[in-house]
Amino acid sequence: MDELKGLPEATVIHDSSDLEPFLRDESHMVGLPPLAVVKPHGPAALRELVRLAKTEGFGLVPRGAGTGKAGGCLPTPRSVVVDFSQWPGDIRVSPQDLCLSAPASAPLREVKAAAQAQGLFYPPDPNSWESCALGGTLATNAGGPNACKYGMTRHWVLAVDVLLEDGEIHTFGISSVKANAGPALSQLFIGSEGLFGFIVGATLRLIPQPREHTTLLLPVKRWEDLLDLPGRLCGDGYLPSAFEFFDPAVLAELRAHGPETARRLPGEALAILEFDERGSTSEAYLEGLLDLLGPMAEGLEIASDERQRQNIWAVRRMTSVFLKERHPKKVSEDIVVPRSRLREFFEGLDRLGCPAVTYGHLGDGNLHVNLLAAGDTEPALLERQLMDLFRLAVNLGGTLSGEHGIGLAKREAFLALGDPAQIQALRALKQAMDPCGIFNPGKVI
């Protein structure tokens, strides 16, 4: 694309072989070849890109590290990918303000480490946390196991710096939790998947680092027994910092074909519970938990040191990649139902006869329902299976996506099942903030 040749403060990629990696993310979708990929190094590049997008009529598709699970960063017809990996800026921690500022390009791993180096904690922990970029986690409102106690990425954002359709970067929010001069427009951009503008940096809220962790492996004989446990724990004053599970099919796969540490996993089904309260490593705390678990506690294993804890988490963290390697054409969803309706959800899934295996964030009702045979399923049937699954979650007071977002992968389902008033409001906002339709066209709505 000749117009991009003189773009200031940017690296521009045109060669079709170099564009190849930008057609994919971690979803099952594939994008169309973009006109080019631009890696901006400064505001002049963004200003000029916005101007050109408007005058030449192409779309701008934001990209972080490409670890998204819904196709949000995949190129659509006549688009330029804006890859933020070279966007400049440092990670700066302010212990006084309990906050941290960082550019969109900062690896989430480094953001979390910078907080930790000061004894502070940034909780969002999507399973891609070692490879994803902060900007992507903000644009998709990433979740993760710790969301069970600490909430989503959006709950940790104080301010965002956003490229708007005037070509300039504007800051929404301040570095304090108390800011109430009108509605929090910063939140509009978190989880928006770049619909209204592109996030180039943010100020994040921190808390003191938890110093104690009790990590439990809870094997069960009848996996249905796990389904009431998230609600019972909360009802009894125990809020796990993570409550993950594997259904019997996923556990069997891990045990039969997974890494060494997975081969020793116990149980018919398995939960991983973690508590990080002050005092959670005390005997009294554990006794209370054992009381609550009753006969379920038989077979319980407690990680006795940090190495064991990390081994347990390593197995959980690799599950998605492992299943994808075993079943390259699988489709993986991330529906949510309220904790109190988990049992009804699985009964419903059974009734649907949906050929799914499930694992994920049981503690907050966010389940990774995987259709392993999706690649060999007739497309119309697959679509029906997915719609039935989404409808089941929605009818139980849940939603079709708990953490991965809508992107390209769930756009049609979102439009079909979403509240029409909400979709209309989103479209009105899009029109107001991006009247030329240059920001991530063809995604979400």
> Binding residues for ligand 2HG, per CB under 6 A?
69, 127, 319-320, 332, 360, 368
Comparison of 101 and 127: residue with beta carbon closer to ligand 2HG = 127
Tell me how far, at minimum, the Cβ of 278 lies from ligand 2HG, in Å: 27
Least spacing, CB of residue 323 vs ligand 2HG, in Å: 7
* Nearer to ligand 2HG among residue 100 and residue 217 (C-beta): 217
Q: Could you tell me the smallest distance in angstroms from the CB atom of residue 425 to ligand 2HG?
A: 28
Longest Cα–Cα distance of the chain, Å, equals 70
If the CB atoms of residues 39 and 317 are measured against ligand 2HG, the closer one turns out to be: 317
Closest distance between ligand 2HG and the C-beta of residue 319, in Å?
6
**Residue 268 backbone phi and psi in degrees, to 5:** -80, -45
Question: Between residues 98 and 147, which has the closer beta carbon with respect to ligand 2HG?
Answer: 147
CB of 329 to ligand 2HG, least distance (A): 13
The encoded tokens of residue 356 equal: 């799914």
Residue number, 373 or 429, with CB nearest to ligand 2HG: 373
Q: How, if at all, do strands 99-103 and 59-63 pair?
A: unpaired
What is the distance between the alpha carbons of residues 218 and 302, in angstroms, rounded to a whole number? 9
With respect to ligand 2HG, which residue has the nearer C-beta, 153 or 319?
A: 319
Minimum CB separation from ligand 2HG for residue 139, in Å?
16
Please check whether residue 403 is in contact with residue 154, taking contact to mean a CB–CB distance below 8 angstroms. Answer: no
Minimum Å gap between C-beta 272 and ligand 2HG is 12
Nearer to ligand 2HG, 127 or 214 (CB): 127
At 368, phi and psi to the nearest 5?
Answer: -90, 95
Smallest separation (angstroms) from ligand 2HG to the CB of 28: 10
CB of 147 to ligand 2HG, least distance (A): 10
Q: How far is the CB of 306 from ligand 2HG (least distance, A)?
A: 22
Q: Would you state the structure tokens that stand for residue 380, as one six-digit string? A: 């119309």
| Cα–Cα distances in angstroms (integers) from residue 90 to residues 95, 136, 188, 202, in the given order | 16, 17, 24, 11
192 versus 320: smaller Cβ distance to ligand 2HG: 320
In total, the chain counts a number of residues equal to: 445
Min dist CB 128 to ligand 2HG, Å, is 7
- Is the Cβ of residue 135 or residue 360 nearer to ligand 2HG in the bound state? 360
Cβ neighbours, 10 Å, residue 51: 13
Closer CB to ligand 2HG, 59 or 144, in the complex: 144
